[in-house]
Chain A
Amino acid sequence: MAERNGAGDRTAGDRAGRNLPPLSLYVPEPHFRPGDQADFSGFDIPAADAAPRPDETSAAGDMRDMAYGLVRVLDEGGNAVGAWNPNLPPETLLKMLRAMALTRAFDERMFRAQRQGKTSFYMKCTGEEAVAVAAAMALDRDDMCFPSYRQQGLLIARDWSIVDMMNQIYSNKADRMRGRQLPIMYSVREAGFFSISGNLTTQYPQAVGWAMASAARGDTRIAATWCGEGSTAEGDFHSACTFASVYRAPVILNVVNNQWAISSFSGFAGAESTTFAARAVGYGIAGLRIDGNDALAVYAATRWAADRARSNAGPTLIEHFTYRVEGHSTSDDPGQYRSADEGSHWPLGDPIARLKQHCIGLGIWDEERHAAMDAELASMVKDAAREAEKNGILGHGMHQPFETMFEDVFEEMPWHLKEQLQQAIDEKKAAGL
């Protein structure tokens, strides 16, 4: 008999005769693949007025059921119903609707700009506009947001210049990030929008740390952070939840469950076994699971969590149940891995259409005004793009002096970077450039 080196060399044959059933590995599989007809008829949607609204200072342990339900405000007829109705004044509703429509118009334009070769990359948030816009409106402007890459609505809801955002996307001479960052990795300190990183979920413990600092200094500001459901699998998610719970940090932890992490459906982040809001239960954090396509539910839940944080009652984890309508990015083709008609069958609808219907029902809005607004926003975004393009587009080369590449690595440039800068200058000169 040949000598075996270890357990790894064992084969099933060695164990024959031991009368044990073979183990099997379970690998999740999404319901619909390309070519399949999407069918969400079995999808359980709780009624809009079904969820109770606990007091903001409730003990996390008393909120367990909230992590498994679905907070909704807008019913199928577009009426705001139930305990979570934030009863917003018309001007707030219309501002919210406009910011969401502007976010979508901005996405459309920038996606096209990428296809036209004006920039290298773009990521839309189509279908998820409410998650960012309504949250931003429920927060105070000086609360610090630690977003992932799909919350451009935060900046738009905070009235940040879309020309400035485009300048970043074009890496042009007006880009405040000086052409260093991949498009959409904005940083806007002035608007309480933390520098976006390409590394997933790193912003989670950072937001908790910011919130802890605010609490330690006796400040009144809170922090909020966002990640996708796929990114909850990162270790940073766990460390952030642990820190947030241990120090009762005034932070809102948002999980945007849009069902897809590039090509991986939410099952690969654990969605088949439980909800993402239920992660909160184990950490002793208040968890809310909400209809992410319902702007009023997003607003109400964010307001609830902000009030909770501001009253020193601790953090809240909010799962926004939504759907990523478009591809992951301009580099992605979702037709390769999911049913083409999934988005149109998504049972929670479109967040803009639902808020529009609500406003029309209230008599503060109508189809004509909406169409006029869409036309106005499209032309506004077009003008902004033209303005940004005057500062240059990516395809037209470097718009920042190449010397700036060496700046801001450290506060002061150390000798070795000064030498490398000089070397770069000399190499260019020698090459006749």
Chain B
Amino acid sequence: MNMIQAINSALDVMMGRDPDVVVMGEDVGFFGGVFRATAGLQAKYGKNRVFDTPITECGIIGVAVGMGAYGLRPVPEIQFADYIYPALDQLVSEAARLRYRSAGEFIAPMTVRSPFGGGIFGGQTHSQSPEGIFTHVSGIKTVIPSTPYDAKGLLIAAIEDNDPTLFFEPKRIYNGPFDGHYDRPAKSWAGHADAQVPEGYYRIPLGKARTVREGEALTILCYGTMVHVVASTVAEADIDAEIIDLRTLVPLDIEAIEASVRKTGRCLIVHEATRTGGFGAELSALVQERCFHHLEAPIERVTGFDTPYPHSLEWAYFPGPIRIREAMAKILKD
């Protein structure tokens, strides 16, 4: 399966298992979603469980909070993460705090799916990576898969989870892994080991990272599309890096991070999102606090620049292989 099919399969499996699971969002019903992630679900489960919504993100999330309060398990879609901001108040002030402020009387067991990330010439409003805004909010979990296998297992776990969860889907790797070489032919997921996705139910626990590659020279912390860019760059540069795909940002797999950096003594953080106040800053602070005496070089960050996501200058902006290679060389210099 490619990542779209894996996500579709996760939704299908959960809708089949749990009558409380409902799918809603712009164009998700009859049409099956602008990325086809919800294709076939309305025909199979009916309009009461899979339905199109008006174009109002604050409405979609607000309605989902109410459905959760009733006892359903909504899986709303925000068509692009760039358009999640109108729903910010409902996510931050309501979904994230409902359990806390009502001391558990009401909960918001929703999973908000949203395509995110760049690398597709999406320009300013189809490329953003806003995860850092949400990792800053207490009460919300943030999950970002990097393979079809993980996407299905993590999405099932997110839907089953009783806390509000943001599930950001890197749209650049919906159809195939992306190594950062935009000038080479696109690859598909066909034949990829991580595209072997079981048809039925399985889950990958939230809060557990995946070691993509074991290594001794340095630790690279990454997630989403960047996992593939990093893996490819490491292979090309022939560096013995340990690559950790975080998979869940909140709650974070701090044990995996600590164990790796204590072993390698060096740490590189890579994400597409802009640098200042990005999740990389939190990762850097955690590594510094917990692995200080093991560090042999300053922690480096390769991230998007602190600019809006540009259209024609995309490949100058995207944190690609050249920047990652340079950062590795800098860390390994001493």
Contacts and interface: CB of A to CB of B under 8 A. Distances in A.
A197 B59 contact: no
Interface stretch (A133-141, A173-181, A383-391): A173-181
A43 interface: no
Interface stretch (A31-39, A114-122, A200-208): A200-208
Nearest to A419: B254
Nearest to A199: B93
A202 B99 contact: no
A155 to B, nearest CB: 14
B98 A213 contact: no
A223 B66 contact: yes
Contacts of A339: none
A187 interface: yes
B6 to A, nearest CB: 26
B54 A246 contact: yes
Given A202-B94, A243-B54, A208 B66 contact: yes
A236 B62 contact: yes
A208 B63 CA distance: 6
B102 A205 contact: no
Interface stretch (A9-17, A286-294, A303-311, A406-414): A406-414
A177 B101 contact: yes
B157 to A, nearest CB: 13
Given A213-B70, A214-B70, A411 B99 contact: yes
- Greatest chain A CB density within 10 A among B58, B71, B97, B103 is at B103
B33 interface: no
Given A195-B102, A210-B69, A212-B66, A411 B162 contact: yes
Interface residues of A, number: 46
B122 interface: no
A144 B69 CA distance: 10
A213 B99 contact: no
Interface string B64-93: 111111111010000000000010011001
A415 interface: yes
Interface string A182-207: 00010111000011011100101111
- Greatest chain A CB density within 10 A among B74, B207, B251 is at B251
A87 interface: no
A197 B63 contact: no
Contacts of B58: 205, 235-236, 239
Given A236-B62, A240-B59, A409-B100, A202 B93 contact: yes
A375 B307 CA distance: 67
A398 B7 CA distance: 47
B139 A206 contact: no
Contacts of A216: 22, 48-49, 72
Interface string B155-184: 000000111000000000000000000000
B124 interface: no
A415 B100 CA distance: 17
A194 B139 CA distance: 19
B103 A178 contact: yes
A330 interface: no
A258 B220 CA distance: 59
Nearest to A417: B138
B93 A209 contact: no
B211 interface: no
Contacts of B89: 199, 202, 236
Contact of B106 (A187, A238, A416): A187
B196 interface: no
Given A209-B66, A409-B99, A416 B252 contact: yes
Interface in B32-66: 48-49, 53-54, 56, 58-59, 61-66
Given A206-B94, A409-B139, A195 B101 contact: yes
A170 interface: no
Contacts of B67: 209-210, 212-213
A198 B251 CA distance: 27
B198 to A, nearest CB: 27
A180 B100 CA distance: 8
B238 interface: no
B236 interface: no
B98 A209 contact: no
A393 B193 CA distance: 62
B104 interface: yes
Contacts of A211: 66
A214 B161 CA distance: 22
A187 B70 contact: no
A414 B251 CA distance: 6
Q: Which 6 A-B pairs have the closest CB atoms?
A: A209-B66, A205-B62, A239-B59, A209-B63, A206-B66, A213-B70
29 contacts: A144-B69, A181-B101, A187-B103, A187-B106, A195-B102, A202-B93, A205-B62, A205-B90, A206-B62, A206-B65, A208-B66, A209-B62, A209-B65, A209-B69, A210-B70, A212-B66, A212-B67, A213-B72, A239-B59, A242-B54, A243-B56, A408-B100, A408-B103, A409-B100, A409-B139, A410-B141, A411-B163, A416-B251, A416-B252
Interface of B: 22, 48-49, 53-54, 56, 58-59, 61-72, 74, 86, 89-90, 93-94, 97-107, 138-139, 141, 161-163, 207, 250-252, 254
Given A198-B93, A205-B63, A239-B58, 9 more contacts: A144-B70, A194-B106, A208-B63, A209-B63, A209-B74, A217-B72, A242-B56, A243-B63, A411-B162
